[in-house]
Chains A and B, each alone.
Chain A
Amino acid sequence: LSKLPETVDPMIRAHILSLCSALGGTSTVEDGGYSLGDDALACLKDLKKWLKLYDQKMNRFDVARCMAEANLVKGDLLEILGGWEEDEIEDRIKQRLALGCVELLVPLTWPFERYNEQSTVNHHRHIPVLRFAQAAYKKAILQHPSKRILSNIVRIALPSVAMPPNERTERDEGLIKLVLYFFRNLVMIEHPMVTETDTGEEISRSATIGALKEQNVLHFLLFISSKVGNEFNTQDTVTMEVIYHLVKSVDIEKMFLTDEQESQKQGQDLTTLLKLEDEMKRASIRGASTRHNRFGTTVWIERSDKTRSFVSGQGALLGKSTGLDKMDASKKWKKPRGADTKGISRKTEHDMSLTLERRAKAKLREFVEDFLDAGFNPLFSHLRRAIDRDAQRLVESNQQQYFYLIAWFLKAERIRRKTLANSEDPATADLESFSLVASVLNQESLITLNRRMTEWFDTKQWTPLQSAMRCFTQILLTVQDMVVSPLEDDQEIAENIQNRLFYEEVTLDLVVMILRSYTRQPFGWLDDCTEMVHVHLKMLERFSKQHEHMFIRSRKRARAQRKKNVTGEDGAEGVPEEEEDEELAEQSKAAMKERAFDYSRFEQKFLTQGCLDTFLAFIGNYKELNYSQMKRAITFFHRVFVKREQEILMFRIDTIELFNRILQGPDGLPNSHPARQEMDQFFKHYMRRLVKMLEKRPELYAELLFTKVNSTMHYLQFGYNKQIKVSK
C-alpha cells in the first residue's frame, strides 16, 4: 500500500516476531505474571542465531531493529531474568534461560562504532533508531521492579568465578567475560539526544552507579580486579573498560567533599558567579547607549594625514579605543581558516567533566577507595604487562584508557590523602605509605609510559597523547607529595623515581617538543599540556638545585650519530653512567659548574616562539581559566621575560593586544578575578620595559609585527652583535 521503502524485509520481521511471541508472554491465569513458552530455551537460541548469522555476518542491523520493535528486552528477557528467584540458585534450567538472555543482551547493547568504510546504508538507516532503543533497554534494566536484574546476571558468572582457575574450561572463562562485557555495555550507553522532556536522567551516570552498587555489581568488579593476574588473566581489559566508563570525566575533587563542604562550596560558587555576572552587567551598561537606538550619532576619527574613518553610535564618543573597537567590529571579512579535515580540534571524552548526584557520589567514592586499597596494583600491573607484550586482547582504545585511569586514580589517591590529613589531627591520621599505587611508579611503567608518549607524539595521535600527558603529570605530582611524606621510605623512593624520571634527556626533550607541537587541539588538550610542562619544569628545577651531582643521559653528538644511522630514535646510545661518573670525579669542580649549567640549558629550550605561542593560546581562553591556570601561564611568561631576560621574544604587537584585552578590554578579566593582580603587575612591568626598549631602538617598531629572527634577536636585545655575521 504505502510507497515508502520497507525498513526491514517483511519476512525477517515475521520470523523474529513469531520467535519473540513463542518465547512467552503475560499469563492470563497467574495474576498477569510472565509465563514461559514451551520451547523458550530453543527460541532464545534461535534468536541468538539470527543475530549472529544474519546481523553480524552480513553486517546489517535488521534483526536488532526487529527485536527493538518487538519489545523483546523489556517484555521478555527482563521478565525471565527477573523471575529467577533468590531461592532458585541451583535451578539449572532457570540458569540456562538466564544465560540465554544475557547472550542476547550483550550483542543488543553492544556500542556502535563510528561510521567507517564498512558502514552501509543499513547502518545509517538503523543506528539512530537503535541508539534510542539501547537507551530504553538501559532504562528498563536499571528500573526493573524486581531490582535484581543485575545481580542475577552476576549470579550467572558466579559458579565459574568460584572455580579455581586451572579447572575452568574455556566456556567458563568466556562466561565471566560475557557478563563483564554486559556491564561494560550497560555503563557505556548514554542517551543519544537529551531534550527538555526527555532528560535521560533515568540512565545518567548517577543512576547507573546507584543500581550497580545496590545490586552488588561494584563488589563483583572489586573482587575481579583484586584477583587479576592471580585468578583472572584475560578479563583484565574488560574490567578496566567497565571502570573507565564508570569514572570517566567525574570531578574527583567534588567527589571527596563531604555534603556539608559541598553545600558550602556551592553557596560560595554561586556568590562568586553572581558577583561576576554583576560585574559583567555593569561593564556592558557602561558601554551601552544612554539614548534610544535611533538616536543616530556619527563620529569621525581623524588621522594625521587628515583622512577620516566614520563610526556611528554614541558609544564611539566614549573614548578613542571604544571607537576603534567599533570600527573593527563593523568589518565583515573574516580571515579564512583552513578546514580541520583531520578533526584535531574536535572535543573528546577527555574534555568533559561530570558532577554526580549526592548519593551516587558517596557510593562511587566508597568504590574508588576500596579499589585503591585492593584492586589498583594487581589490575594495573597486569595490564601494563599486557600492553608491553602487545597482547591480542587489547583493542586500540585500551592503552588510552589505561593511562587515563592511572591519572584519574593517582589524583584520587592524592586528594584522598589530602582530605584525610585535613580532617583528622595529623597525629592520629593513619599514615600509609604510597605503596598502594606503587605498581605504576616502578621503572617498567615509566618506560612504558615514555615509549607510548613518544610513539603517539610521532604519529600525531593527540587524544591518546593527552591521556599519557595527564598520567605523566599525575605521576610527577604524586612523587612531589612523596618527597614531603614523613615516612623515610617514601622519600627515598621518591628520590629514586625522580632520578629515573629526569635521567633520560630524550624524555626531557619530548616535553618541549609536545609543547611546541600545539596547533588547534581542543582546550582540554592545551590545559593538560601546559600543566604537564609547568609541573615538570618546576620539579626539575627544584631537583637540580638540590642535587649538584645530577646526571642525565643524553644522546651522543648529533653529528656522530647522523653518520651512523638515521633512525636512531629510541636506541640506548649514550655515555654509560659509570664512565661519566669517573670522568666527572676527576674534574669535580669543573663538573659542578657544568651541572648548574645543565638546567638552564634545558630551560633554554623553552625560550622559543613556539613554546610561547602555546602559552599565549592558552591564556587566550582567559575567560574560562581559574586562578591556578592563569598563574601557570603567568609563571611561564615570567620565566621567559624576567628570569631569563628574553624580553625581545615577547615583544610582539599581538601579544600586547592580547594582554591589553585581558586587562582593559570590555570583556576582560573582572576586577574580582584572583589572578588579575598578578597579570596586572606583569603587564605593567612588560610595558615599562617595552617603552624603554622602543625609545632606545626605534627599529623595534617594525619588528613588533613579526616573530623575531635568530640572527637579529641578540642585537635587538642588547644593542650589539653576538659574534655573528649578518648575511645580506
Chain B
Amino acid sequence: KDGKKDNLGLDEEVKIKRKRVNVKLDEARLLREDIGIPKLRKEAPKRLKFKGKGHEYRDAARLLSYYQLWADDLYKKAKFRDTLQIIEKLGHSRRMKMERESWIMESKNKTSGDTQDKD
C-alpha cells in the first residue's frame, strides 16, 4: 500500500484552526428577527397582559421577567442589567435611531389608518 504517502501525510487536507468567535451584542444581533427587537415587538403586546390598578408590583414583575427572558435569549452571556446597558448604548447609533423611528412611524400609520377607515 501507499505507506509512504500516509507517513508524510501529504494527501491529508490541511486544517486551519479558527479561533472561536465570541458572540457580540451588536446592532445586527439586536435587529435579528428571531431573537432581537422584532421578536419583542411582535410578541410582547400579545403575551403581556397587565392587571393595572392594585396590582402594580405584579405587573412590574411580569414585565421585568418577560424582558429578562428575552434578554437572556438575545445575549446569554451577560447579566440582565449589563445587557440593558449595552442595548441602551447601541440605541444611540444612527442606524438604530432610524430603525426606532421607522417602528414608531409604522404603528402610527397603522393606528391613523384605522381611524381614517372608521371615519
| A contact residues vs B (CB 8 Å cutoff) | 301, 303-304, 307, 309, 320-321, 324, 327-328, 331, 333-335, 652-654, 656-657, 659-660, 663-664, 683-684, 687-688, 690-692, 694-695, 697-699, 701-707, 709, 711-712, 715-716, 726-728
Contacts and interface: CB of A to CB of B under 8 A. Distances in A.
Given A331-B78, A657-B81, A728-B101, A699 B107 contact: yes
A654 B84 contact: yes
A308 to B, nearest CB: 11
Nearest to A303: B69
Interface in B33-48: 37, 40-41, 43-45, 47-48
B87 A705 contact: yes
Interface in B61-119: 61, 63-65, 67-69, 72-73, 77-82, 84-88, 91-92, 96-98, 100-108
A691 B81 contact: no
B72 A309 contact: yes
B61 A702 contact: no
B56 interface: yes
A702 B87 CA distance: 11
A304 B48 CA distance: 12
Contact of B64 (A334, A660, A706, A709): A660
Contacts of B40: 701-702
Contact of B79 (A331, A663, A706): A331
Contacts of A656: 60, 63-64
Given A335-B82, A653-B67, 19 more contacts: A303-B69, A309-B69, A309-B72, A334-B82, A335-B78, A654-B88, A656-B60, A688-B53, A695-B50, A702-B40, A704-B67, A705-B87, A707-B92, A709-B101, A712-B100, A712-B101, A712-B104, A715-B104, A728-B101
Given A656-B60, A703-B100, A694 B65 contact: no
Contacts, number: 131
Nearest to A697: B107
11 contacts: A327-B72, A335-B78, A657-B80, A660-B61, A664-B60, A688-B56, A691-B52, A694-B50, A698-B45, A728-B101, A728-B105
B101 A726 contact: yes
Contacts of A652: 88
A99 B50 CA distance: 82
Contacts of A664: 57, 60-61
A334 B83 CA distance: 10
Interface of B: 37, 40-41, 43-45, 47-48, 50, 52-53, 56-57, 59-61, 63-65, 67-69, 72-73, 77-82, 84-88, 91-92, 96-98, 100-108
Please report whether the interface of chain A is mostly helix, strand, loop or mixed according to DSSP: helix
**A301, A687, A692 — most chain B CB neighbours (10 Å):** A687
Contacts of B98: 728
Contacts of A683: 56, 60
A705 to B, nearest CB: 5
B52 A688 contact: yes
A691 B50 contact: yes
Contacts of B77: 331, 333
A172 B37 CA distance: 78
A511 B16 CA distance: 60
A228 B43 CA distance: 74
B47 to A, nearest CB: 7
Nearest to B105: A726
A631 to B, nearest CB: 21
A600 B10 CA distance: 81
A704 B63 CA distance: 11
Contacts of B41: 698-699, 701-702
A621 to B, nearest CB: 15
Contact of B78 (A320, A333, A715): A333
B60 A687 contact: yes
**B41, B56, B85 — most chain A CB neighbours (10 Å):** B56
A699 B103 contact: yes
Nearest to B97: A709
A701 B78 contact: no
A692 B61 contact: no
A280 to B, nearest CB: 20
Contacts of B63: 653, 656, 690
A705 B104 contact: no
A702 B73 CA distance: 16
A707 B68 contact: no
Given A684-B56, A707-B92, A698 B44 contact: yes
A503 B92 CA distance: 36
Nearest to A323: B65
B57 A663 contact: yes
A695 B48 CA distance: 10
A324 B50 contact: no
A127 B67 CA distance: 55
> Which 3 interchain pairs have the tightest Cβ spacing?
A706-B91, A687-B56, A335-B82
Given A692-B52, A712-B101, A712-B104, A701 B88 contact: no
Given A331-B79, A687-B60, A706 B52 contact: no
Contacts of A335: 78-79, 82, 85-86
A705 B91 contact: yes
A648 B59 CA distance: 18
